[in-house]
Amino acid sequence: MKAVENRRLAETPGEKDLAPAVACSSLRKLHRRHFLAAAGAASVSAVVPARADANFTLRLASWGAPSAPQVVVFTTAFQAAVQKAGGGRIAIQTFPAGSLVNERAVPSAIQSHVVDISLTTMGSWASIVPTAGVLNTVFFRPTADNFLKAIGPGTALFDALDDDMSKHGVRLLAALYNGPVVVSSRTLMDTPAAFRGKTVRVFDRLTAQIVQTLGGAPSTIEVADVYPALQRGTVQAAIGGLEGAIGLKEYEVAKFLLATNGLFGLLMTGYVMNKSALDALPPDLRKVVLDAGYTACRQATAAMIAAYDRELGQMQQHGMSVTKLDAGSPKYKQFADALAPLAKSQEKSFPKELVRKVIDAQS
């Protein structure tokens, strides 16, 4: 019986959805073959197998460095909480480092049930989920100190995002703080005027809008091309996450770093779950999974905030000149004033009630 239940949870959404599951089964198999083929060279030994004696198995995918706090801290805390509260009835099988799902494919993989749970960037849901879109703006910029107060589990904003995602077959387990974006540059770019006429690597619509507003020319290039582009001067600067800048060794080809302190928006990741996979669990185990996600969310966020400050120090140790836009400083005000028109235009593109909820959450 246990083996049958394991198979049902991993392969089907439950008996009450049997009819649509027939159609979805082929789609999931097709997607699964696609993602596994894309994983190609991923080591099978990286996959952590499920417990044989568990009643249910959930597949959890992540991408990026397995040692990153959003991966190792969250998954460790989540598995421990599920094991303890669930009494061993749920096994978590992990697929790290993009071995099952890569970063860009998460929305499709979760909605088509290629995987049960996955690490995700919140920005990747912006075109699907309005609440996720409003978080990918320059007017959503909670500080490290009030991040959990603004969008931690149990807050109005977290619940609104969860409700919005549930309409698309997804549940939110965690919203995580990855910190403000940074700008690595070949020359000092610590004022809005310094961006004028510069070609700057961007990674999404928001960062492209920021560069355009400051008078620069946005350039969308893949992560793997950032280092050589900075080295050759194809771009004069690159916007991205601090962790990524360290991983790419941008300090070898760019000697200046601007820590934007939220003025360029906030990088957020999180963990999402296929709604049918959650609904297929007995009510008590649904609560176990959700509560475990919330617990792991708080622990991972604390670790990620601590890591951000350490990583800024690492960039300085590697010889970069670091400028941090401290709130209330003249340079902070210059950037805030320069980006005010963009903030106003973004506010107008969302329902007033949603904008007010986001602004109130940060007060």
Following DSSP, what letter does each residue of 257-282 receive, concatenated? EEE-TTTT-EEEEEEEEEHHHHHTS-
> In the structure, what pLDDT confidence band is assigned to residue 310 with cuts at 50, 70 and 90?
very high
User: What are 144-184's pLDDT values in tens digits?
Assistant: 999 999 999 999 999 999 999 999 999 999 999 999 999 99
Query: Which candidate, 322, 306, 324, 207, places its Cα nearest to that of 257?
Result: 322
Instruction: Check whether 328 has a pLDDT greater than 60.
Output: yes
Mean pLDDT across 24-36 = 40
Where are the domains positioned within the chain? Answer: 2-178+267-307, 182-265+309-361
How far apart (Å, rounded) are the C-alpha atoms in residues 162 and 271?
A: 11
pLDDT band with cut points at 50, 70 and 90 for residue 49:
low
- pLDDT on residue 256: 98
In this structure, the chain runs to a length of 363
The pLDDT value recorded for residue 136 is 92
Looking at residue 19, its pLDDT comes to: 37
How far is the C-alpha of 147 from the C-alpha of 145, rounded, in Å?
6
| Residue-level pLDDT at 42 | 40
**What is this structure's pTM?**
0.81
Q: Is the pLDDT of residue 216 over 80?
A: yes
Helix (H, G, I), strand (E, B) or coil at 139: coil
Strands 56-61 and 182-185: unpaired
Q: How does pLDDT run across 236-281, given as a tens digit for each residue?
A: 999 999 988 998 999 999 999 999 999 999 999 999 999 999 999 9
CATH of 182-265+309-361, one of 3.30.70.20, 3.40.50.300, 3.40.190.170, 3.10.150.10: 3.40.190.170
What is the percentage of the chain residues whose pLDDT exceeds 90?
Answer: 78
Q: What is the CATH number of domain 2-178+267-307?
A: 3.40.190.170
3-state secondary structure of 101: coil
Confidence (pLDDT) at 51:
62
By the 8 A CB rule, do 189 and 195 touch? yes
pLDDT band for 50, please (50, 70, 90 cuts).
low
Q: How confident is the model at residue 46 (pLDDT cuts 50, 70, 90)?
A: low
